[in-house]
Amino acid sequence: MNSSAAIGIFDSGIGGLTVAHAVTTLLPNENIIYFGDTAHLPYGDKSATAIQAYSIKICNVLLQQKCKVILIACNSASAAAYELVKEYVGSKAKVINVIDPVIEFLAENYEGKRIGLIGTKQTVNSNIYRKKTDSLDKDITLKSLATPLLAPMIEEGFFNNNISESIIQEYLKNDTLNDIEALILGCTHYPLIKTQIENYYQGSVKVLDTSEIVAKYLKKYLVENDAQNPLNAHIKHFYVSDFTQSFETSTKIFFGEQIRLEYYPLWE
């Protein structure tokens, strides 16, 4: 593995920027190549077959850039396409999803606890979190709730306002999430509304930011495999499959600088 090679990160839109920001904060020397599949967002209401097709196309782009790691920064794609992507990429790069790091974190910290999960329909209906949690044999009770309005709401810039407040509260008061001790933000968009969710629970429920958990998991992998970038110089390169104003605005908000977006259509 070329330790100075980039980390490739992809998502359907701005959600994966929460992961990219967490990665650049924790690993400031790493080169980042991000692909936002804005032409097909959100992934949460797409079929598994469609998500797999998008994911393989994006992986081709990241492999052409010689990425050492491909990070699937999307729960829907992690649930639907991880095994296929891992097989497709083979030994060319390490493939990491955003689900396994969270499962490992639960095993280490939440044995015997009641955990809530909110995510897209694709993530929740795949039942992947429940299967992986049950396989831990840690007596963890998982309560899952699909929250399909949240990702498109965030993509459209509706967070930290009265509109988002009403939608968030309507979901969180659902009986499914009664008596939980922690809540997994099972979509990489959701850290953008983490503060609103924390305000709702008033400290009674620990809100788990998966972007931070995934970044720590990635750092651990790089350290253990002596694959951290030894150079101080770092590059951030962003591809999008369709130009959207919200994505351009969000990249500037996340990284505190104007980011040049390169248009890269997946099918042309």
- DSSP code string of 44-95: GGS-HHHHHHHHHHHHHHHHHTT-SEEEE--HHHHHHHHHHHHHHHTTSSEE
> What is 100-210's CATH topology?
Rossmann fold (3.40.50)
78 labelled binding-site residue:
no
144 labelled binding-site residue:
no
- Check 33, 69, 80, 187 and give the catalytic one: 187
DSSP per-residue string spanning 223-250: HHTT-S--SS---EEEEESS--HHHHHH
* Greatest CA separation for the chain: 51
| CA atoms of 240 and 58, how far apart (whole Å) | 10
10 touches 72 (CB < 8 A)? yes
19 touches 11 (CB < 8 A)? yes
- Check 6, 74, 167, 182 and give the catalytic one: 74
| Alpha carbons within 13 A on the beta-carbon side of 7 | 27
Q: What is the pLDDT of residues 121-166, one digit of tens each?
A: 989 999 999 999 999 999 999 999 999 999 888 888 787 788 899 9
What's the pLDDT score for residue 260? 81
209 labelled binding-site residue:
no
| Portion of the chain with pLDDT greater than 70, in percent | 100
Fold equal for 7-97+212-263 and 100-210: yes
Domain boundaries, the chain: 7-97+212-263, 100-210
188 labelled binding-site residue:
yes
> What is 7-97+212-263's CATH topology?
Rossmann fold (3.40.50)
11 labelled binding-site residue:
yes
59 is catalytic: no
Q: What is the pLDDT of residues 9-54, one digit of tens each?
A: 999 888 889 999 999 999 999 999 999 999 998 888 899 999 999 9
74 is catalytic: yes
